[in-house]
Amino acid sequence: MSNTFGRILRLTTFGESHGKALGGILDGMPAGIAVDTDYIKKQLERRRPGQSALTTSRHEKEEVEFLSGIFEGKTLGTPIAFLIRNENVRTSDYEHIKASYRPSHADFTYEKKYGIRDWRGGGRASARETVSRIVGGALAKHLIPEVRIRAHVHSVHRIRSEKSIDALDWDFVERNPVRTADPDMADAFENLIKQAKKEGDTVGGTILCSIDGVPPGWGEPVFDKLEARLAAAMMSIPAAKGFEIGSGFEGTEMKGSRHNDVFLPDGSTRTNFSGGVQGGISNGMPVYFKVAFKPVATLMKPQQSIDKHGNQVIIPPKGRHDPCVLPRAVPIVEAMATLVLADFYLLQKIQKQKV
């Protein structure tokens, strides 16, 4: 099912951008796990709209309401259902596109697939849907507390951080509105996004995610490789347009004699071009990857398009939108990575029980 992610730990999300609520059902969560609601609230706050001048002005409280699966602060082992109610909706902002298709949005494709679409804020295709992923990922983190998953804005438009992962200041991520771990690039990134917003335009960029504490053996051969599941998770995020793990595309410019990782006596490697994964299975080294995000398709400029009858129309600038998705996408990348790893953690437990 296209609205469900995971094998053993399965998250199903529901809801539309301007509907009554969004939410999800997390199934496969073991029983007896104490739930840290403060941690879940913190993660929701990181994704919340209206948090800075670099994000949409839409304000939502992002309060999660758990309906089942948790009793006296602990998981029951039954499906965990939850809701996040929409409050600050402005459907009138979208009435002008009821019969028109916005360029590079899902308006046209959804209508062609289903014969109907929710034109209010993009409906199900809106990034608003990702609020449910944050809750699911925060719950999944309870299964793998020893795994440290950290993401940051690596590049914006045509400028990027040149620091190695080891040189990044991860504590700095939540101290700047861009959410970069490179203090030397924070102002440049922020100014670039603000300039695009001033011009009624948008910019994209990349997010780098670094994961420590993944033991050897997580991942499945052939079709369920760790990097394949990570890629599927990241490419399911709205506006994601590219994924690379380890050396990625840069590795294509190396020769094999330079690119191969060299094992050390303790089982670690001197280099980590593999990104912590070999044969689709984790090797115990840090896992790291990048995700590319396109510029937001909604501009505060008139855009030429067509309506459902094929007539040429001009889409006027209207609504509340991010000039750059990157700052709010950081916790989403972390949440999806967490869901993948927690699922593989459970799969590995089953595998060991069979041996």
Helix (H, G, I), strand (E, B) or coil at 314: strand
CA–CA gap between residue 286 and residue 274 (Å, rounded): 10
pTM: predicted TM-score of the whole model, two decimal places: 0.93
Alpha-carbon dihedral sign for residues 318, 135, 182, 162: negative
pLDDT digits (tens, 9 = 90+) for 143-194: 999 999 999 999 999 999 999 999 999 999 999 999 999 999 999 999 999 9
Radius of gyration of the chain (CA): 21
Residue 167 is predicted with a pLDDT of 96
Report yes or no: 91 and 120 within 8 Å, Cβ to Cβ: yes
pLDDT digits (tens, 9 = 90+) for 36-77: 999 999 999 999 876 667 766 556 678 999 999 999 999 999
Helix boundaries (H) for 115-225: 131-141, 186-198
Tell me which residue of 48, 54, 49 sits closest to 193, measured CA to CA: 54
221-to-4, 6, 263, 285, 348 alpha-carbon distances in Å:
22, 16, 22, 18, 12
Full set of structural domains in the chain with CATH: 4-354 (3.60.150.10)
